A and B are shown apart, each in its own frame.
Chain A
Amino acid sequence: MNAPVANKLVLRRSYFEASARARVAAVLDAGSFREFLPPEASEPSPHLAVLDIPGAFDDGVIVGAASLGGRPVLVIAQEGQFMGGAVGEIHGAKIVGLLRRAVQDKPAAVIFMADSGGVRLHEANAGLIAISEVMRAVLDTRAAGVPVIALVGGSCGAFGGMGIVSRLCSAIVMSEEGRLALSGPEVIETVAGVEEFDSKDRALVWRVTGGKHRYLTGDCAELVEDDAASFRDGAIALLSGWQKPMPASSTLRAEQARLTERRQRFAGLRDGLDVWQALGVAEPRQIPLMDRDSLVALKKGLPA
């Protein structure tokens, strides 16, 4: 009998499996969410209609205002279960509009629940333009002094353009189940061959793109359990201590230098296991089985 563990497991509500609306309901203060462009005011994608593909009334993203731990926030939640959360013209326009409102209203933060494989290819240039506008809008919002917090723990992860958008955010809260990268595993395998990357090797995919890897390499600020309440707690914890300065060119240069150095240091390593070893983890094979708290403790003990 292992009662404390048992209770924790029973009470968990998977963020990974939840719909965007369920995430909004569980992460933000109860009953505080007010949707902009609710179902009756939104419209589905005209591009999908032309292709005879069923659309969604919200085009796969929910935007609105809410409070989080009592602070006013604006919210974006992508629905991974509609077309893999892909960003089309209307989907992108809703996000950009929300971010522009954030520049005006100056909420405590924008909470961006990313769950997307990137650009919606069906919409071609309109989708590409949409996602580049989202990138610019994220930077504008940060420049206006409003932190943008990305939550990455959905079943589609954050790939392609949404991988870039997530890294442009002020900070990322991620679960082990979440994945974050530029090219998705299937894309790499298709382009470079299965020898380069076996997208069916799920364990490898998570060792290279998953939350634990991103946490150890410093790409996400907080690692949380796959539980909506943990994402909530993680985001609140980040915001309550928020003192990060607005990005200045000197900090951007320093970050660029850090990433360049990291790229050289890990060049040629082909697996998260190798990277973790290079980071000074004594038993990299134990990492995938560790729970969140043990991994956070382990990271604290790593050489800087």
Chain B
Amino acid sequence: MNAPHPAGAWDTRRRGRQQRLERAAALGLARRVEAPRVGELLEAVIEPGDRVCLEGNNQKQADFLSETLADCSPERLHDLHMVQSVLALPSHVDLFERGIASKLDFSFSGPQGGRLARLVQDRQIEIGAIHTYLELFGRYFVDLTPNVCLIAAHAADAAGNLYTGPNTEDTPAIVEATAFKGGIVIAQVNELVDTLPRVDIPADWVDFYVVAPRPNYIEPLFTRDPAQITDVQVLMAMMALKGIYAEYGVKRLNHGIGFDTAAIELLLPTYATELGLKGKICTHWALNPHPTLIPAIESGCVESIHSFGSEVGMENYIPARSDVFFTGADGSMRSNRAFSQTAGLYACDMFIGSTLQMDLAGNSSTATLGRITGFGGAPNMGSDPHGRRHASPAWLKAGREAGGPNAIRGRKLVVQMVETFREHMAPVFVEELDAWKLQESMGMELPPIMIYGDDVTHIVTEEGIANLLLCRTPEEREQAIRGVAGFTPVGMARDRQMVEQLRQRGVIRRAEDLGIDPRRANRDLLAARSIKDLVRWSGGLYAPPARFRNW
């Protein structure tokens, strides 16, 4: 199917599409397909060797279509090349174990990382590449265009128009690539309605839809319970706010999803406001609707948030704050991962997130042995885009710190925020990343490094901030990292004299250098200390999922 053009034939994809539709019509399958017949539909319109995009987003999953595809006959459907953002569900991996699919291009595998690694070692799967989201979306429009895509929407009307609602996520990118290159679009929806709140995907881009037996699965990935934030994380958040956010005047940014950055979000109405930073930092975001940002929004610290996807429990809060979030005329949020990732890459001045391991060059990785987890979007946002041309004070200041007063470009701030030890006393700072061993055991072309060291500008730990922009040699960079690595073996092996010199130059700054009293660093500074506090801040609009409630 994906062979180059045979001589003189320029519309093989269109004619192929027509044949597929005719096979479905011959089985009596119309635009609206009943759930029990979806297996027949998939076997009729998918051909062996096809590239199939199965919508698996960070949150929303086309789980019914995925399970149905996994249950198809491997005699009929085999050697499929799956292209999908996230490999999250057991049925995604079943496709390979059952011999239906054989090749995979993806971004993130999360919970299925262990099974995926075993399949690679057993040679049951060929991995094309592990991408970042933007790369994969880009390749949908270049050389990984799907023949068939299986997507998830919230609702359809009789004509086949789709409402994807707050969790629009990857759908527009997938459908656009498929529908406009002779492909077939099949959607699962939670419900069929007479009138949609709004049309997110027009019916003439959609070939088939099915009302799934149960609503598509959505994972609350971005809810962090403030009760679990520690005093040490509060201290690190204070240092980041005073030593980075304030100094560079960071207004446009993206946050990771860990507790470290949740602590920063919860200090915006308290500590940051006390420092006079309200309106001067953190006004514009590319960010999922983090519940921990509610106090900052309610306090007037935030002007705008564009989101990759939505978050479970925020359905009533977002429409009530439409000045802040992107919402449709119907009131509900519209997310879009491709646009928000683009915003995170090019329009933001800072990315700040956490990692599991960092080496002495500042390379960081979340890879662990025996698991292939991929990258998601962190490398898109956690990298300095050399294509950027517009200036901002934060970008210029960072660029001039790195390249001197005559620097011809700015720098994005890429900040890694970690405690020196993670759980089970595993040191975050290491001489060599596990990623290298993983590369060897999996036969990969590159080690799975999440954020490259040369993109990292600052490292924040409980011991202080290392500003890598000001390092002039690899040796200085190494000592700057050792100098904030605490009591890890890497930190203990520091050259004390050199670290002290770096501190004199302001390359390393401790809490006291920043005028921060560590005794103030306690949870009382958090604007919310529990999920229930977040509900109170929201005036009852935020409705946390049951697992986060203790009332």
Contacts and interface: CB of A to CB of B under 8 A. Distances in A.
A43 interface: no
Given A5-B537, A289-B535, A289-B540, A10 B527 contact: yes
B298 A6 contact: yes
B550 A291 contact: no
B524 interface: yes
A284 interface: no
Interface centre among A2, A6, A18, A288 (most CB of B within 10 A): A6
Given A1-B300, A203-B549, A288-B551, A6 B295 contact: yes
A6 B540 CA distance: 13
Contact of B524 (A6, A13, A206): A13
A9 interface: yes
* Contact residues of A: prevailing secondary structure: helix
A48 to B, nearest CB: 25
A191 to B, nearest CB: 23
B309 to A, nearest CB: 26
A206 B533 CA distance: 16
Contact of B295 (A9, A13, A203, A289): A9
B523 interface: yes
A112 to B, nearest CB: 23
Interface residues of A, number: 16
A9 B300 contact: no
A9 B551 contact: no
B536 interface: yes
B269 A203 contact: no
Interface in A216-238: none
A10 B269 contact: yes
Contacts of B523: 14, 17
A10 B301 CA distance: 14
B535 A6 contact: no
B12 interface: no
Interface in A187-212: 202-203, 206
Contact of B537 (A6, A202, A203): A6
Contact of B536 (A18, A202, A291): A291
B68 interface: no
A14 B295 CA distance: 17
B368 interface: no
Interface in A1-45: 1-2, 5-6, 9-10, 13-14, 17-18
B529 interface: yes
A2 B539 contact: yes
Contacts of A17: 523-524, 529
B270 interface: yes
Given A2-B298, A9-B295, A9-B527, A206 B536 contact: no
Nearest to A202: B550
Interface in B188-207: none
Nearest to B535: A289
Interface string A274-292: 0000000000000011010
Name the residue among B269, B270, B528, B529 with the largest chain A CB count within 10 angstroms. B529
Contacts of B550: 202-203, 206
Contacts of A10: 269-270, 295, 299, 527
A9 B524 contact: no
Given A10-B527, A14-B523, A14-B529, A5 B551 contact: no
Interface string B514-548: 00000000011001110001011101100000000
A15 to B, nearest CB: 10
Given A2-B298, A17-B523, A203-B550, A9 B528 contact: yes
Interface in B281-301: 295, 298-300
A288 B523 CA distance: 23
Contacts of A289: 535, 540, 551
A9 B536 contact: yes
Nearest to A212: B551
A14 B524 contact: yes
A252 B549 CA distance: 40
A205 to B, nearest CB: 8
A14 B527 CA distance: 11
Interface in B63-83: none
Contacts of A2: 298, 537, 539
Interface string B286-320: 00000000010011100000000000000000000
B310 to A, nearest CB: 22
Nearest to A16: B529
A9 B536 CA distance: 8
Contacts of B540: 289
A9 B549 contact: no
Nearest to B299: A6
A9 B533 contact: yes
Contact of B539 (A5, A13, A18, A288): A5
B535 A1 contact: no
Contacts of A203: 549-551
A202 B527 CA distance: 23
A291 B536 CA distance: 9
Contacts of B299: 6, 10
B320 to A, nearest CB: 11
B104 to A, nearest CB: 38
A1 B528 CA distance: 16
Contacts of A5: 536-537, 539
A9 B550 CA distance: 19
A285 to B, nearest CB: 10
Contact of A206 (B298, B300, B551): B551
A6 B551 contact: no
Nearest to B231: A17
Contacts of A14: 523-524, 529
A6 B273 CA distance: 13
Contacts of B527: 9-10
Given A2-B298, A14-B523, A289-B551, A9 B537 contact: yes
A198 B524 CA distance: 31
A293 to B, nearest CB: 12
A206 B551 CA distance: 7
A211 B206 CA distance: 55
Nearest to A13: B524
Nearest to B527: A10
A17 B524 CA distance: 9
Contacts of B528: 9
Contacts of B537: 2, 5-6, 9
Given A9-B527, A14-B523, 14 more contacts: A1-B300, A2-B539, A5-B537, A6-B537, A9-B295, A9-B536, A9-B537, A14-B524, A14-B529, A17-B524, A203-B550, A206-B551, A288-B551, A289-B551
13 contacts: A1-B298, A2-B298, A6-B269, A6-B298, A6-B537, A9-B536, A9-B537, A17-B529, A18-B524, A203-B551, A206-B550, A288-B551, A291-B536
**Which A-B residue pairs are the 5 nearest by beta carbons?**
A288-B551, A202-B550, A13-B524, A203-B551, A2-B539
